[in-house]
Amino acid sequence: MQPIQIQPIGMIHSCFKEKFATPRQPGLVPAANAQIELVAPYNVADAAEGLTEFSHIWLTFAFHQTAHQGWKPKVRPPRLGGNTKIGVFATRSTFRPNPLGLSLVRLESIDTHKGVILHVSGADLIDGTPILDIKPYLPWVESIPNAKSGFAGDDQVLRLPIAYSAQAEQALALKPELTQLIEQVLAHDPRPAYQQDPERIYGCKLADINLRWQVGAFHIKVVEII
């Protein structure tokens, strides 16, 4: 078969600056707001006409940070502890024959004053991810309540209270809008399944801060926000 050329139609501006702590699936962190900036020649209002009538949209995107590593027939899903291998087509791993991903996000609004910018929420994409296509979500045909979901059947949620150090509380007093985002990200436990050390401090870049936290037996502690 002949190769197919694909041209990015835009880029996402996201609060997630690195792979670690980016939600594993879309919709898990509703407070994760993002903007999809379309590029020429696709950044014309005509191309987005009628899209505001839909509440959610599908984003086809490129795994741009791992594309150079090629594909693997078997991968180790974090959900299975990082040791068990399974066929790549039974996962959403980034190491695919074609580095394509699919994400369902909520469409909040569209700004067409200068080009086209789509404001979305619930995104699970790293800042700078190339967007390859946009399609409306059709719940009457794409929502299947009784569908099976294999090894990924249940959402992994840490049902633990979140405590803040004195330093973290002071930092959030200056940026209270980040509280919900932080708590939603931590509730879905970004740690690899095989890491359960309560003394270990984890860190990530989130929005415009560096976040550091620990996961104990009885609570999650936000150690530092800088």
Tens digits of residue pLDDT in 114-168 = 999 999 999 999 999 999 999 999 999 999 988 888 877 666 788 899 999 999 9
Task: Specify if 151 maps to a domain.
Answer: no
Task: Compute the C-alpha angle 60/145/87, nearest 5°.
Answer: 55
Of 64, 65, 67, 87, the C-alpha closest to 76 is: 87
What number of CA atoms fall less than 13 Å from residue 47's CA on the CB side?
19
Residue 96 predicted with pLDDT over 80? yes
Give the whole-angstrom CA distance, residue 117 versus residue 52: 12
- Are residues 84 and 137 located together in one domain of the fold? yes
Q: pLDDT value at position 130? A: 98
Structure tokens at 162: 């979140």
Structural domain of 50: 10-142
- Are residues 121 and 221 located together in one domain of the fold? no
Give the whole-angstrom CA distance, residue 147 versus residue 143: 9
- Are residues 22 and 133 located together in one domain of the fold? yes
What global pTM score does this model have?
0.92
Structure tokens at 190: 């970004």
Residue 219 predicted with pLDDT over 90? yes
Task: Specify if 153 maps to a domain.
Answer: no
Of the chain, the percentage scoring pLDDT greater than 90 comes to 81
For residue 60, count CB atoms less than 10 angstroms from its CB and return exposed for 0-12, middle for 13-18, buried for 19 or more.
middle
